Amino acid sequence: MSSLRSRMAIECMLRDTDVMLDGPRPWDPRIHDDRFFRRVLAEGSLGLGESYMDGWWDCPRIDELMERVFRAGVDRRMPRSLPDRFESAKARLWNLQRASRADQVGKRHYDLGDDLFRIMLDERQIYSCGYWRHAATLDEAQEAKLDLAFRKLQLKPGMRVLDIGCGWGGAARFAVRRHQVEVVGITISREQAKIARERCRGLPVEIRLQDYRNLRGRFDRIFSIGMFEHVGAKNHRELMQIARDRLAPDGLFLLHTIGGSRSVRNIDPWLGRYIFPNAMLPSMRQVSDAIEGLFVMEDWHNFGADYDQTLLHWHQNFEQGWPQLADRYDERFHRMWRYYLLSCAGSFRARRNQLWQIVLSSSGVPGGYVRCS
């Protein structure tokens, strides 16, 4: 197909989006290389993201572009590339998140470097959606999210608490200092474990470099913030069974996870290749199937719209801090990370993706559970 015909095909796909190729508005993409059109038609979202990394097009507001693309459903009409089909087939046939592969996302994403995440995130380095209901800054939004989660868990002094996917230790430290509990945190990232131990030194916090499948012991409360997206559909039930076995009979489990509107087996191909290998966003049905017969679902809270603002703050911090990172990361990484943050902001603004906090009990809270807000 010629470049002209390819361009016309892309323009036809964008007809209902209020997006104009080479247009004057901030969300209109400026095309620098005519190979862009055939690449996107052949490779779909993978070609779109890679061509941006390669400098074939630019757009001042990628988030606004992607919001329009997602709202119009253009992404679902784009062709699926051969690599995407191959990844989907692998996800159906094999367990890509099995224990022997569990550390891949840690090595390829979370171990990138503390300099990157320290610049991008809030003061506690909380790498998940903030809660913006009464917040004005990223620090306030992340504190509000942790406060909300721990009030939902009804933490009390002396409780033994498990943090599945503890990140850099910010949530564990907050729980201990605010609620006088003891915390065991697990992560599959060596860099996260090292920094979390430093952050929680002197506190009743134990940080383990450990997969959730190797957990032992009993806990009064369990929480998992921003980790379930790496578990995979073939392992959802196993994680829930382990959490059920590790939770005290009168305990509560809070699951904080991004959710998708459809049941799938693998993540967007570009995100899977460059940002979160082997990730998968669970659907409501997949979460429900995983918890059926194991827990009572006490509360299901969606504040996915707040992820848009969180991602925009991360992007702002990243761009402002880029001069401190440029010696270690090249310009292609710069464009990759910008595309990641802004395209994800667009997806949440379009309400394509959600953010759920789900409270589960072992056998039902006597008299009923009352949600905090």
- Catalytic residues, by residue number, are 344
DSSP 28: S
Q: 42: burial class by Cβ within 10 Å (0-12, 13-18, 19+)?
A: middle
Rounded to an integer, what distance in angstroms lies between the CA atom of residue 50 and that of residue 55? Answer: 9
The sign of the dihedral angle between the CA atoms of 289, 228, 85, 80 is positive
| Sequence-ordered alpha helix ranges (H) in 275-366 | 284-291, 305-325, 331-349
The sign of the dihedral angle between the CA atoms of 339, 344, 345, 350 is positive
Pairing status of strand 205-209 against strand 296-302: unpaired
* Beta strand segments in 6-52, E: 30-31
- Cβ atoms of 175 and 183 within 8 Å: the answer is yes
Q: 295: burial class by Cβ within 10 Å (0-12, 13-18, 19+)?
A: buried
Q: Residue 204: helix, strand or coil by DSSP?
A: coil
Residue closest to 175 by CA, chosen among 242, 114, 222: 222
Rounded to an integer, what distance in angstroms lies between the CA atom of residue 91 and that of residue 89? Answer: 5
DSSP 108: I
37: enclosing H helix or E strand? helix 35-53
Residue closest to 109 by CA, chosen among 170, 187, 222, 50: 187
